[in-house]
Amino acid sequence: MKIDGNPISGAQLISADRLSKDFGTTRVLNEINVGVKEGEVVCVIGPSGSGKTTLLRCFALLEQPSDGAVLMENKVIGDASGSKAVRQAAKEVRSDIGMVFQHFNLWPHMTVLENIIEAPMRVRGVSRAVAVAEATTLLEKVGLSDKHDAYPVRLSGGQQQRVAIARALAMQPKVMLFDEATSALDPELKREVLIVMKALAAEGMTMLVVTHEMGFARNVGSRIVFMDQGEIVEEGAPAAFFDKPQTDRAKRFLRQFED
């Protein structure tokens, strides 16, 4: 786990190799090379439209690369070919990749408990009793032990996002992807979600986090990846990036967060 801002040694758990993504004639990602090692919390920051969410969606296998590849433990799980072998590799690891979206995407017709146990029962094949026991533990972890039977409409935004985190964790992923998990929340509710994310980081969860929360990135991140116009402009330990950014573009970006 990161404590002092130095990257953790070891092989990359999930990575992008010269990853590019086009939407029509627009190149959204341009030959991205980045990876996350086991136990790291990599925070991806940058202006809106820089390609951060598209990068995360490629890692989550929700977008197919136009060129390059996404790898999990050095095995290609996404590329432009869409070959049978790559599709099979993706299928094998899909449940190892958890994702929490900006908007909570809970099933409105299901209770909190039902939202959490559905995928473990259907995908992992666990019994209802085991799924309920695991969900109960996860709800305690995210501070929602008393919300088993509540429907999403009865929850605050922060509570819904914490349920979404618990739902992703129920699949026992190897890596968690967070796409602006707090951006739709007001300050008090943001704090609720950030506390949960910090606790996951402290437990050693491997995380790739797209965020505008500079305090979280500085204090919790193992490494900062700064993107602009579909490319990685700068990358480094949090203290180095925030205190002494190397590029003019990063310096301009950080000025907007100064008091």
Stretch 65-94: mean pLDDT = 95
The percent of residues above 70 in pLDDT, for the chain, comes to: 96
Task: Give residue 155's identity as a one-letter amino acid code.
Answer: L
pLDDT for the residue numbered 10: 62
Asked if the model's pLDDT at residue 155 lies above 90, the reply is yes
Binning pLDDT at 50, 70 and 90, where does residue 3 land? very low
pLDDT for the residue numbered 185: 87
pLDDT for the residue numbered 259: 62
pLDDT for the residue numbered 8: 47
pLDDT in tens, 21-32: 999 999 999 999
Instruction: Give the residue with greater pLDDT, 9 vs 179.
Output: 179
pLDDT in tens, 83-115: 999 999 999 999 999 999 888 889 999 999 999
pLDDT in tens, 204-249: 999 999 999 999 999 999 999 999 999 999 999 999 999 999 999 9
State how far the Cα of 238 lies from the Cα of 219, in Å rounded to an integer.
8
Which residue shows structure tokens 């995210």?
Answer: 142
